Amino acid sequence: MGVGAVLILGIAIACTLFYLKWRSEQKRRSLLIQWATANNWTFVASDDSWCNRWNGDPFGAGDHRRARNVLTGQWQGRAFASFDYSYQTHSSNGKGGQNTETHYFAVSAVSLPTFLRSCRSRRRISSRDSATRSG
């Protein structure tokens, strides 16, 4: 196989993987919309204002903070919000370039009848590295 054929095969594989990921995200989003509708909740595909509502880990870290698949409404008489949260951090790769890591979290918050000083539960969902070359 020639270099051109290998390049075309690589592009075809990358496009196929991108398409499959996109379809999976669309299917999940469709299910979230159906669930929200069935429970009289609100679904918004993206609302980054949720990224600045709280202090503490994981909020405030990194940059390119995103809130996706935001569900809001009432659950057992209490207001709630749930969303996919992500942010990026950057580090040097030691070769004059930069590595970017995206951190992913699932966030759920329910209003309580009283103030709590501090109550957090954190579980990292996953992390993907994406190398960015700069120079």
Could you read off the pLDDT of 88-134 as tens digits, one per residue? 999 987 888 888 999 999 999 998 888 877 656 665 555 454 444 33
Question: Does the structure show a pLDDT above 50 at 4?
Answer: yes
Using pLDDT thresholds of 50, 70 and 90, give the confidence band for residue 58. confident
User: Which whole number is the average pLDDT over 75-97?
Assistant: 90
Q: Choose among 106, 71, 92: nearest CA to 135.
A: 92
**Alpha-carbon gap, residue 67 to 4, rounded angstroms:** 40
- What pLDDT, on the 0 to 100 scale, is given for residue 132? 41
pTM of the model: 0.71
